[in-house]
Structure 1
Amino acid sequence: MEVRSTEGLDAPDIGAPGADAASAALDALHEGVLVCDMLGRVTYLNPALRDLLGAARGEQAIGRHWGPLFTEDSRRRIERDGLPSILHGGHWQGRVELRGAEGAARACVLSLSAARRGGLVGLLRPAEAGTGGGPDTLSRSEARSERMEALRRLAGDMAHDLNNVLTSIVGYARFLTEDLPKDGQPHGFAEQIVVATQRAKQMVDEALAFARPGRGERKAVPVAATVERSVAQLRADLPAGTTLRLNAGPGELAVEAEPAAFAAVVGHVLKNAAEALEGRPGTIEVGWRVTGDLRQLPGLGKPGEPVKVTIEPAEGGRLQASAGAPDPNRRFVELVVHDSGAGIAPAVMEHVFEPFFTTRQPSKGRGLGLAAVYGQIIGHGGAILLDSAPGGGTTVKLFWPSAPVVDAKATARPGRRQLPRGQGQRILVAEDDRVLREALGEMLQRLGYRPTLVNDGEVARRVLAEGSAVEAVLTDRRMPNLSGTDLIDWMRAEGMRQPVLLCTGYGEDLNPAQLTRASGVAVLSKPVDAATLATSLDQLLSGPPD
């Protein structure tokens, strides 16, 4: 749709042979049909959609951007959730609100797909058609899904604000460690501040895992090695007399995942199993195998559809909570963790995947563990099943997309090297948070660059329009007056090719893999540290590899 959201998608071939017949068929549909080109311009609306919008608004929409057809919240949701789903799976479906005649909001269900020849096609129907009515008549599963969506937005917004603060704290703490004598007590205090911010960052990362999972580079991650590392870390915390058994499937297995995300998920599930024993001896069993049959999971959706959490009774008075919309044509690695602990009460099961929900004492947990597991599993195109009963222990089954096993030596990390430094290049920094803006400026100056600091995107646009000798731009994603992505759009429309580092607190509506295809644009996740900033900026200024 907008360049920032649909880079790499081609426009639909409206003038192809047979287009008249296709258009006549679309005109006859009762559902609304929306077709957009790669720049987000509306190229076709069928009569049903014109009726939903109102005749005048329908006529005015042709040739213009699709965004004003929807309410602001719906536009953001489509960009945030719909477009990445299309890029990964080809389809997305969700509830949205159209702006109808005189601006009245009209609830609809939007099915969005990538056209075969490029571009986007949307199918809209009124939400009351086939859904059983409005919010008051939603099924418990749908209501649970909407609650999870609201919590996801809350967690993401919280993470964005905290990441701004953490970037400033860790930045200034690092400056102190660089400037203070290393044998003095103040230097030790500064080091402890850095350690504390790393712990805070882990908490924010857990919230992000629920709110915006699956955004980084995915690789083939070995299952056995990851589980064994997590088990080794867990053993010291297990109650005396606890039995921990590993039941590995035949052969080496790997999953397609962000390595850190998969390791974190395994760690969370094992930690939960250990804590379920409540300090008493018990049993924890961990096993994994390849499977292509997910029929044991009730209520699974199709790829691209909104994910619902389904809770159903099982044999022996147990309850099963499941969620996911996996590709039925893929094979999965099933990772199973069972504990002989106290089990989960039905009232708790209703909220088991929600962030910030915990039955533990405030000092014992934050309620982010299973929420992070849920987020990462869904974000990676997998599924989760949780089976439990009070007094009957708990079994967690994670279904990750499998991947071919890769030789560990071929993926070994290179040794540490000195941070790349600038040569006095002028870097324009656009950030509305004053403390963070000044911290980024200090980082850049210490790395050998000349930063110019401005407080919003509109001021940055004016600086660039004046023809200032700016060699790169570092901009926040969310700013008043002009956002970072809108600033990039304007720069490229004006023919400005300076590389851009786009900072984001939690990924919002961005797809990093998509943005890297846009010339000279890279995403930098907050909190930003000097090492990441130095490496990212050096890579951008060096240009694309030959």
Structure 2
Amino acid sequence: MGPMGVRSRNDGLIPVMGVRLMDDEIERLRNREAELTAEVGRLREALVQAASEPVRAGRERDRVWDLSPVLKVIATTDGTITAVNPRWTRCLGWSALDSVGRNLVSFVAEDDLPGAREAFEVLAREGYVADHQISFGTRNGDHRRIAWTKVIEDGSIYAFGRDVTDQVRAEEALRQSQKLEVVGQLTGGVAHDFNNLLTVLRSSVDLLRRPNLAEERRRRYLDAISDTVDRAARLTSQLLSFARRQALKPEVFDARERVGSIAEMLDSVTGARVRVVVDLGEEPCHVHADASQFETAVVNITVNARDAMGGEGTLTLRVHDGGPLPPIRGHAGSKAPFVAVSLTDTGAGIAPDRLPHIFEPFFTTKGVGKGTGLGLSQVFGFAKQSGGDIDVESGPGRGTTFTLYLPHVVPNGTGAEARSSRRKAVPGGGGRRVLVVEDNVEIGRFATQILEDLGYQSDWVANADDALAKLTSSPDYDVVFSDVVMPGMNGVDLAREIRRRHPDLPVVLTSGYSHVLAEEGPHGFDLLHKPYSAGQLSAALRRATT
């Protein structure tokens, strides 16, 4: 028998071992082919995924753009809008077609245009503006308050806005509610205090009408009427001071000297069991403020400290150049120099929950009849109206420190006191002619009667136009005494016109309250506050005519 084998195509024999080797090679090649096929599949899948990734990312960006609750705007650096998202349209009503090509500022409410232009200037200079609130006009004519954050990137402005309209309205409603609460406190407090004062006046007048009244009792009732009028005047003064509507008479004075001059009076205010320590420092501390209101503020804080200590303890007054004004109650400070007047007591301190309310009118922790709750509100109003502030540090069991800050000034030696000291007093009216300008009939008649009793010759007119006509026809008046609040031309404008037409004719103004005086001051004219006494009127006219 011949050798075992497999017949080939050419009838040749291939050994069996060779056949097995060929089978193994074929199997290997098939496996390799399968691996390559799988690798190609994986590569194909990766290529497809890579090709679809930008599309997917673009779709995600589109979803963020379309569904964002934030207004999004893209604009050129000059503010021309190139794209807006749907939230812009839902909030303001302006479609993309309405908006693209217009300047972003063209949608701003007219009142906010200066602020919008300023924000663009900051954006151009710094490349970033954060949380800047601007009112934007809507398509239906309304306005929405938008808080914008803007950045400049790659030559474009990217703006992101939050609609804060409802938040702003809620905050305004809260502020209005707080105002109404304060008005309610004011109304109740003023009604209570004035009714008490009117009771004294009414009773005293009724008693004065009794026949055969003893002279001693008559003087007592008259003194009661006079004291009650003074108390009523102080009450209205404190109210106006709290509201920052008190017509102040600012002058330059050294706070150290002023505190030193009233130190002895403070001893009598606090009582024998309170030790008053005064530290006035060495350097002058000049301020420009109403000296009378300054003293009243110091006395009010002193009275508050005395009551906090129960009439026994130590009160330390310190006056010094306090340097810059620190931030107080969330308000920014100032780098300008300020004078600090601090009063520290050793009382029980103020509870943290009461600290935010101590400057509110009629807020008091004292018993009934032991305080009006207006003392610290007067200090607060005076400080604010004088360009300063009042700070307080306290805690239960560690006493209280009030610090009054007033702007430090450099004296020029031409204050009101210097002018006043050069005037010479003239006893009585001496027959001088006074033109009284007063729209209230009762007060006009009463003023002319007082002037006649004081030795003046007086004429009375009811408005500024009649006063100017009277001065034209009779230019020999020595002084004009005019109310401030009148129909038509007010007293300040009248005084200015008199100064222009009659430069040598002095004018004395009088008012119980005037927003013109509160905001602008008396413009260099002498001012007599209502209610005034006959002696105060006489003194004011003497100062003006000498």
What residue is the counterpart of 2:377 in the other structure? 371
Once the two structures are TM-superposed, the CA of residue 381 in structure 1 deviates from its matched residue by 1.0
Counterpart secondary structure, 2:517: coil
The one-letter amino acid paired with 2:515 is E
CA RMSD of superposed structures (Å): 5.2
Q: Are the equivalent residues in 2 in contact too, given 1:420–1:535 (CA < 8 A)?
A: no
Task: Provide Cα deviations, 1:85-143, integer angstroms capped at 9, x if missing partner.
Answer: xxxxxxxxxxxxxxxxxxx99999xxxxxxxxxxxxxxxxxxx9988754522497x66
Aligned to 2:252: 219
Supply the AA of the counterpart residue of 1:506.
Y
1-structure distance, mates of 2:142, 2:536: 43
Residue of structure 2 aligned with 1:293, choices 320, 324, 346: 324
Which residue in 2 is equivalent to 1:529?
A: 533
Give the whole-Å Cα distance in 1 for the aligned partners of 2:246 and 2:439. 25
Query: Which one has more relative contact order, counting CA pairs under 8 Å at least 6 apart?
Result: 1
Structure 1: gaps (5+ residues): 1-26, 35-44, 49-103, 109-127, 177-182, 302-325
Number of residue-to-residue matches in the alignment:
380
CA gap 1:416/1:144 in 2 versus in 1, 3 angstroms: farther
Query: Quick one: which of 339, 343, 357 aligns to 2:345?
Result: 339
CA distance in structure 1 between the partners assigned to 2:544 and 2:322 by the alignment: 42
SS at match of 2:354: helix
**Partner of residue 389 from structure 1, selected from 385, 389, 395:** 395
Letter of the aligned partner of 2:299 in structure 1? G
Q: Of the candidates 262, 276, 289, which is equivalent to residue 308 of structure 2?
A: 276
CA deviation vs aligned residue, 1:211-250 (integer Å, no higher than 9, x gap):
3347203112232x43344443343565776554444445
Give the one of 241, 244, 248 matched to 1:209.
241
Paired amino acid for 1:217 = P
Per the alignment, residue 97 of structure 1 pairs with: none
What secondary structure sits across from 2:391 in the alignment? strand
User: Do structure 1's residue 452 and structure 2's residue 483 form an aligned pair?
Assistant: no
The alpha-carbon distance between structure 1 residues 267 and 406, as it changes in their structure 2 partners (threshold 3 A), is farther
Q: In the alignment, what sits opposite 1:430?
A: 438
Which of 290, 308, 324 pairs up with 1:258? 290
- Identify the match of residue 401 of structure 1 among 385, 395, 407: 407
Structure with greater proportional helix content: 2
* Secondary structure of 1:510 counterpart: helix
Displacement of 1:451 in angstroms is 3.0
Any idea what SS the aligned residue of 1:474 has? strand
Whole-Å separation in 2 of the counterparts to 1:360 and 1:413: 42
Query: 2: CA distance between counterparts of 1:231 and 1:379?
Result: 25
Cα pair 1:431 1:437 within 8 Å, conserved: yes
- Per-residue deviation, 1:150: 6.0
Structure 2 CA distance for aligned equivalents of residues 534 and 344 of structure 1: 46
CA distance in 2, matches of 1:129, 1:510: 40
Asked if the contact 1:428/1:460 (under 8 Å) is kept, the reply is no
Distance 1:227 1:524, change over 3 A: closer
2:510 corresponding residue in structure 1: 503
How much identity, in percent, do the aligned residues show? 23
One-letter amino acid of the counterpart of residue 268, structure 1: N
- Spell out, residue by residue over 1:475-499, the C-alpha distance to the aligned partner (whole angstroms, 9 max, x if none): 33334x5463498299769968876
Q: Does 1:235 align with 2:267?
A: yes
Deviations 1:294-314, CA, capped at 9 Å, x for gaps? 33534225xxxxxxxxxxxxx
1:107–1:218 distance in 2 versus 1, CA, 3 Å: farther
Deviation of 1:443 (Å) = 1.4
Q: C-alpha separation between the residues in 2 aligned to 1:283 and 1:540? A: 44
Q: Could you tell me which amino acid in structure 2 is paired with residue 255 of structure 1?
A: V
| TM-score calculated relative to the size of structure 1 | 0.55
Larger radius of gyration: 2
Deviations 1:5-31 (A, max 9, x none): xxxxxxxxxxxxxxxxxxxxxx98946
CA contact (8 A) 1:344 1:394 kept: yes
Counterparts of 2:537 and 2:409 in 1: how far apart (Å)?
Answer: 31
Q: Distance in 2 between matches of 1:148 and 1:252?
A: 42
Q: CA deviation at 1:272?
A: 0.8
Tell me how far apart the structure 2 counterparts of residues 231 and 490 of structure 1 sit (CA, whole Å).
Answer: 40
Task: Report how far residue 464 of structure 1 moved.
Answer: 4.3
What secondary structure sits across from 1:335 in the alignment? strand
1:226/1:106 CA distance change after superposition, 3 Å: farther
